[in-house]
Each structure stands twice: as C-alpha cells, then as structure tokens.
Structure 1
Amino acid sequence: MPISFDTSGLQQVDSNSWGDPSTGDIVTMNYFDLVPDLPAPLEEVDLLRRGLAERSAESGCLIEAFIIWVDAVPALLRVEKLPMPNQQHGLVFAASIVVPKDRCSAAFQILCPETGTTGVREAVLMTQLGYENMFPPHPYAPGLSGRLPYNAADDMRWDDQFPDHPLTRARRWVARTVPTARLALGFAALPPFTGPLRT
C-alpha cells in the first residue's frame, strides 16, 4: 500500500482494515489502479464539490469536502452520511481521504455508525435552532434534493457539544490521523490527477 498511518488503539481485522472495539468504527485503506473517479480536478474546488454532492445525494448526503495535504501532497477530504445498511435505524458517517494521481489513487477512510439511541444530536439542536433552521440549502449545490437531507446539525461547530457522536468521532480521527500519514516515495512522485477521463 502506498499509504501508511498511525493505527494505534485499533485492532487489525485484515490486511487493509482495522476496528475500534470501543465504538464499532472501521478504518480501511485501499489502492485503486485506475483513473480516479472524481468529477473534477482538485484545483476546481467548486465544480468538484458540486459533483460530489450530486453523487452522494443518490445514496446519502455529502456533508463537507476540502482539499488538504497528506505528506505534502494534495488530497481530497470528504465527509458523508449514509443510511445504516440492512434496514437498520440510524446513520453511518464516513470520512475519507483520497490522494488522486494521474492513473491511480490511494485512500483511507473511517466508517462511524450510530449506536444506541439515534438522532439525539439532531433532536437537541432542533430545540436550540428551531425546525425552520434545520434544513438549509446544500452549500455546494443549492436546490439539490437527495436521499438524506443536508442538516444544520452536521456542522462541525456542534462537535464539542456531542463529543461521542459518530460524526464528531470521524472528524476527530481525521484530525489525528492525517498528520501521521506518509506516502511511498514512488507514489508521491507520480503525475497529479488532472481530471476525469473524457469520453
């Protein structure tokens, strides 16, 4: 794998995944030997964000997307929410970091499921903000309607109020893990991703 990062506190599940026994969170690492499936290059942030929001709307909702640096190489940080699989109640929050190159990419991500009583963060904040303020237009694609709504409760400013919420855990993992991530020299030196293949 062209990426390595600190996995302390996690239990290895297989060659490219780890689990947190205290939360049920799962961390995975992958390498894709094909042109990255991104709607735009990292330099075109507005176009990239809109395309990602539209894709995520099919199965869940894109919460936020940023360009960050992993071992001095530009990368995409994407935070999404998805319905829990198999008709279970609640949501899964996913934070993924993709390092795209011209003809391949490397990625690591965490999946943080809701457990116990679900929807507490949203319910508490609805009483604070009012229902009329809970569902603003998506900041990257106003007018977009997806499987899950964009929700004011997902804003990172509320994370301190809900330190054990899966979205907070996902962001905390990113903040802790990205500084420790290292790229293989050969992978880091590959040509940058310049955009999707044109057909």
Structure 2
Amino acid sequence: MLFIQKLFGRKKPTIHSLVFETFGWSERQASAELREWQHPSIPALLSLHFFDIPPDLPPAADEVKLRQKYRQSLIQQEGGILEVTRSAIEGAPLIRTLFKLPTNSNGVLYAGSLTIPFKSCSYVIKVQARESGVTGMREAVVANMLLGTDQLKIGDDGFIGWAADPYEPTFTAGKLMNLAERPEYDIQFPNHPLTLVRQTLRAIETQIHLPPERIEALPFV
C-alpha cells in the first residue's frame, strides 16, 4: 500500500496533492474537494477530502479540547467516541479519530479518519463501514466471554461496565463505546465493519510519507 503526499515547493496544494492505494475499491465521484471509493462487496466507503481553508481545530498540544470538540458534535448525532488521538508524521501533526453513529436500522455506522492539518488547509482521509444483516454477534460473544469477570457484571439495570466514553467516564450521552469494540477483539472478528475501518486506517497511516519538498509556508501550529 502506498500513500504519498506531494506538496512541492510553494505550489498551491489541491486534492490531487495526496495520492494513496485504494485497495481495489471503485471510484464513485471526484471533485476539487472530494474523492470517494466504494468497497466492492460490503457497505463501506473510502474518501479523501480537501479543505482549502484554515482548520477549525484547537492548538496542536491540546488533546483534551480536541476530544471535547468532537464529543459535543457527536451528541447532536447521538454518536460516540471510540478514539481521538494526536500523533505526528515526520514532524507534521496527525489526528486519528474513530466514531460510532446510529443508523436507521438497528446497526451502527463506524467512521474513522486521519486528518493532516496545515495552517491554511487540511486533508482528511475517511473510512466508513456500516453493520448489515445480522448485527450484535460481536457484542454477544465478547459479553459472554467477560461476564462474571471484573470487567463485566450484571446489575439491576443490566450490565455494569459494558459501555463508556474511553476518555471521560462521567460522560454518558450518545452511543458510547462498549467493551466489544476494543481493538484487541478485532482479530476475532475479521469481517466486522469496525475491524475493516481500523485496519484500513492503520494500513494507510503506516505508509504516509511527507517529502521535504512539502509547502513550508503551511505548517499547523
């Protein structure tokens, strides 16, 4: 898999400044702001977004405010956080997010992204996959494994310790992350949409390369 950023000299960046392996997915649309690909066999989408405006993000070091920003946005959609972390790619910031959102059916939509912000623009790679067919098998298997352990007990109102915000235990709004959605269980559920989203983002991130020719006038502080 190959993901290369091509921002040469002071050349104005465009959506085509970023190219990456699309894993054989079929392109659905392309414009100056969005390119989108569809998985050949399951309800999943891969997309690249280019925002030619300054990023609306808190300072690079403030991970707490970043999580608060996403958390408040997700409340309106009755969604929840599975991951919001900051890292770096060759000195440039990288924001990794993973959310869960309810769908019109009983299933869940998992939406992950890698955001690379600069001072006056940003790139966002997204992977989205939704549950289809019979749902809840992952949760049922993991709950059965953990029931009776220190991680999961039965209380008067159901399971105790099953779902929580991964960074703010006192936060209870929206569709919270449950124990079955932890990354260590992905290997047991290779065809689950959450596994697909995590693995695809991980594959892209490990091969991101920012060449020294990238636009020096656009660092994100």
C-alpha distance 190-6 of structure 1, shift in aligned 2 (>3 A):
farther
Name the counterpart of 1:132.
Answer: 160
Greater C-alpha radius of gyration: 2
Hey, what's the Cα distance between the residues in 2 that align with 1:172 and 1:43?
26
**Partner residue, 2:117:** 100
Identical residues among aligned pairs (%): 27
Equivalent in the alignment of 2:40? 21
* 1:54–1:129 CA distance, 2 compared to 1 (3 A): farther
TM-score between both structures, scaled by the size of structure 2: 0.77
> What's the TM-score once normalised by structure 1's chain length?
0.85
The answer for the alignment partner of 1:49 in structure 2 is 67
8 Å CA contact 2:81–2:176 kept in 1: the answer is no
1:9-38 Cα shifts (integer Å, max 9, x gaps): 211111211111122210111111222233
Seen in structure 2, the aligned counterparts of structure 1 residues 107 and 190 have a Cα distance that, compared at 3 Å, is farther
Superposed, 1:61-72 pairs within 5 Å as: 61-70=80-89
Amino acid at match of 1:77: R
**1:185 positional shift:** 6.9
User: Corresponding residue for 1:169?
Assistant: 196
Q: Equivalent of 1:58, from 68, 73, 76?
A: 76
Cα deviations by residue, 1:32-83 (Å, 9 ceiling, x for unpaired): 1222233x22322233223323332332001011223446522101000111
Where 2:204 maps in the other structure, the secondary structure is: helix
Residue 9 of structure 1 is matched in structure 2 by: 24
User: Residue 129 of structure 2: SS of its match in structure 1?
Assistant: strand
The 8 Å contact of residues 19 and 26 in structure 1, kept in 2 or not, is answered as: yes
User: Following TM superposition, by how much is the alpha carbon of 1:192 offset from its aligned partner in structure 2, in angstroms?
Assistant: 2.9
Distance 2:184 2:160 in 1: 19
The residue type equivalent to 1:128 in the other structure is M
Structure number having the greater helix percentage: 1
Secondary structure of the residue aligned to 2:93 is strand
Q: Which residue number in structure 2 is paired with residue 110 of structure 1?
A: 127
Report if the CA contact (8 A) 2:48-2:124 is conserved: yes
Q: 2 CA distance for matches of 1:129 and 1:181?
A: 37
138, 152, 160: which one pairs with 1:121?
Answer: 138
Measured in 1, the distance between the counterparts of 2:94 and 2:68 equals: 17
Structure 1 alignment gaps of length 5 or more: 195-199
Partner of 1:153 in structure 2? 180
Q: After the TM superposition, which of the residue ranges 182-191 and 55-64 deviates more from structure 2?
A: 182-191
1: CA distance between counterparts of 2:211 and 2:130?
Answer: 31
The CA RMSD measured in Å over matched residues stands at: 2.1
User: 2:174 is aligned with what amino acid?
Assistant: R
Q: Which aligned segments of 4 or more residues in structure 1 are displaced greater than 6 angstroms?
A: none
Residue 100 (structure 2) aligns with: 81
